[in-house]
């Protein structure tokens, strides 16, 4: 099956174990996919004593993880938080994640927050070292190697009133926007080599094998040179999302089907998700996506107002960039504009939301943008009157970004879908237990099957509640839990 053949929406055939006469391998835990979720699952399964084999479709490990900036969303009092003077607790972290989750899973959130410091220590034990430093500004990613920054909506209304804000974006110490997580993959490769775990590259899992009881007992694999079957007591699917599958995107997240750029690797084609669905896995949040076109940096632009085509504000401007973008998608024609006056105008170094023009009067700008007469004037006047008093009764913008926009001329940036350079990835995947067991429509575990990383539905549920570092954080943490539980189930079966 080629890359093209692995796409589409059809579910792979399920293979009956009774029809197989020969297996090429017999292992305890088989991991499908070597991104951060699969790599961490393999490490902890092997450390627990399981015989582990990893299959990776590409020529090298990493997948989309190698494209990430390197943030891990961690808290509860990590060494970096303590060193930089930022008090945090698992309880406040749990309140925050619960508040931003449209469909919170309390057991998962509690485990993630309670174990966050241990997981931080595990990552550093692997060989990572997060710099004990803090970046105080509002940016998409730290410009240097600072180890900590705010990467979500912790300081944004209404969440700042629901949980004590704390920075939890822990960044791998590599300057720049992407590639910071590559060193995590490199370290996982080294650890698996030390544990004597084989990784077979350019080898793709294509179908799941089930026994007469419907338990998953292996996979069919395929390479350019041949194919065969692997018997496994547990299979962990960690094969990525589906953003590179046009048919699945059109079916589940049509808002991403045409205009946004996609963020993913070649193999984010949803095959792992469809393999799970073929044996009855329940799928969750398949209509959710992370879509963004940040207007900052420079953060001074957030002192302005963001309005829709009717001249109405609809989001607090100091929100995390994907939250703002998510609300843009909800507006009429997904159209929006950022309005700033001359005193607060700065040109971004990388303008993802293009500058439209400047006008001497708000009335002229209003007409040029096609906003109904008087609407933008009224919105801006109300904002300016309240901002002059240090207030924002409508959206409660933080004082740091609250400033009247009353020194003309006025400028506008286009945040509209199709005009701004939006990019995104899919969020949905298989429903899982706190230990990565794949669940069916009745909420029961499918025996022998686990999922981790972008093909599993965990903490990331939509772009409005997302924080940078969630996918690396949850992928690594729940990958570890899946690997450990899979290994434990093998031991339990052997002694029963």
Q: Pick the residue with more confidence: 263 or 253?
A: 253
Q: Identify the three-state secondary structure at position 134.
A: strand
CA distance 190 to 188: 5
Tokens matching residue 37: 């979720």
Instruction: For residue 10, give both structure tokens.
Output: 């059809």
At residue 175, the pLDDT reads: 57
pTM for the model: 0.94
From edge to edge, which strands make up the β-sheet containing 429-431? 283-284, 429-431, 456-457
Q: Tokens at residue 459, please?
A: 């903490």
In the numeric block, which tokens belong to residue 352? Answer: 């993802």
Residue 56 host element (H or E): strand 52-56
Percent of the chain with pLDDT over 90: 85
Determine how β-strand 289-292 pairs with β-strand 423-426. Answer: antiparallel
Residue 416 scores a pLDDT above 50: yes
Q: Which domains does the chain have, with CATH numbers?
A: 15-67+181-290+423-495 (3.50.50.60), 71-171 (no CATH), 294-414 (3.90.700.10)
Taking only the tens place, the pLDDT of each residue in 358-370 is: 999 999 999 999 9
47-90 residue pLDDT tens: 999 999 999 999 999 888 888 888 999 999 999 999 999 999 99
Return the SS3 of 446. Answer: strand
Per-residue pLDDT at 3 exceeds 90: no
Coil, helix or strand at residue 352 = coil
The tens digit of pLDDT for each residue in 112-164 reads 999 999 999 999 999 999 999 999 999 998 888 999 999 999 999 999 999 99
Report the pLDDT value the prediction gives residue 256, as an integer from 0 to 100.
80
The residue whose two tokens read 């939250």 is: 323
pLDDT of residue 1: 47
Mean pLDDT for all residues in the chain = 94
DSSP state of 371: P
The pLDDT tens digits for 185-233 are 999 999 999 999 999 999 999 999 999 999 999 999 999 999 999 999 9
pLDDT at 262: 77
Closest CA to 246 of 7, 6, 3, 2: 7
CA angle at 450 for the pair 446 and 455, rounded to the nearest 5°: 115
Residue 399, Cβ density class (10 Å: 0-12 exposed, 13-18 middle, ≥19 buried):
exposed
* Both structure tokens of 320: 């995390």
Tokens of 448: 């022998």
Task: Report the helix count and the strand count for the chain, using DSSP H and E.
Answer: 12, 22
Supply the pLDDT for residue 178.
53
How many beta carbons lie within 10 A of that of residue 200, not counting itself?
A: 16
């Amino acid at each position: 099956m080629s890359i093209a053949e692995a796409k589409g929406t059809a579910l792979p055939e399920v293979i009956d174990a009774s029809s197989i006469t020969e297996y090429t391998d017999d292992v305890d835990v088989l991991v499908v996919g070597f991104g951060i979720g699969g790599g961490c699952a393999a490490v902890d399964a092997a450390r627990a004593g399981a015989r582990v084999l990893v299959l990776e479709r590409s020529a090298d490990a990493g997948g989309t993880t190698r494209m990430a900036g390197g943030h891990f969303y961690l808290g509860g009092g990590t060494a970096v938080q303590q060193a930089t003077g930022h008090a945090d607790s698992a309880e406040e972290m749990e309140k925050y994640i619960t508040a931003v989750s449209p469909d919170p899973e309390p057991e998962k959130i509690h485990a993630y927050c309670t174990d966050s410091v241990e997981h931080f220590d595990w990552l550093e034990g692997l060989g990572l070292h997060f710099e004990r430093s803090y970046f105080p500004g509002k940016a998409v990613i730290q410009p240097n190697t600072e180890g900590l920054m705010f990467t979500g909506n912790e300081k944004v209304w209404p969440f700042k009133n629901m949980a004590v804000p704390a920075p939890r974006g822990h960044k791998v110490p590599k300057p720049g926007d992407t590639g910071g997580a590559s060193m995590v993959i490199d370290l996982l490769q080294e650890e698996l080599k030390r544990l004597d775990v084989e990784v077979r590259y350019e080898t793709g899992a294509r179908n799941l094998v089930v026994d007469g009881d419907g338990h998953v007992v292996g996979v069919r694999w395929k390479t350019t040179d041949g194919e065969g079957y692997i018997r496994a007591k547990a299979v962990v699917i960690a094969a990525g999302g589906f953003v590179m599958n046009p048919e699945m995107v059109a079916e589940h997240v049509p808002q991403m089907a045409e205009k946004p750029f996609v963020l993913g690797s070649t193999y984010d084609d949803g095959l792992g998700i469809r393999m799970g669905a073929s044996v009855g896995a329940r799928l969750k949040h398949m209509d959710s996506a992370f879509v963004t076109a940040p207007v900052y940096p420079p953060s001074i632009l957030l002192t302005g107002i963001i309005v829709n085509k009717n001249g109405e504000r609809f989001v607090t401007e100091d929100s995390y960039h994907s939250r703002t973008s998510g609300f843009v998608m909800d507006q009429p024609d997904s159209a929006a504009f950022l309005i700033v006056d001359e005193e607060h105008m700065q040109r971004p170094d990388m303008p993802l939301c293009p500058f439209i023009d400047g006008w001497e009067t708000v009335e002229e700008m209003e007409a040029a943008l096609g906003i109904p007469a008087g609407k933008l004037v009224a919105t801006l006047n109300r904002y300016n009157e309240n901002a002059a008093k240090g207030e924002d009764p409508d959206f409660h913008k933080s004082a740091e970004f609250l400033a009247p926009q009353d020194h003309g001329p006025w400028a506008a940036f286009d945040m509209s879908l199709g005009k701004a350079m939006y990019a995104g990835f899919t969020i949905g995947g298989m429903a899982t237990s706190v230990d990565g067991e794949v669940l069916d429509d009745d909420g029961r575990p499918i025996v022998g099957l686990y999922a981790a990383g972008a093909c599993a539905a965990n903490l990331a549920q939509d772009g409005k509640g997302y924080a940078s570092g969630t996918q690396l954080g949850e992928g690594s943490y729940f990958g570890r839990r899946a690997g450990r539980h899979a290994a434990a189930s093998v031991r339990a079966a052997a002694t029963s």
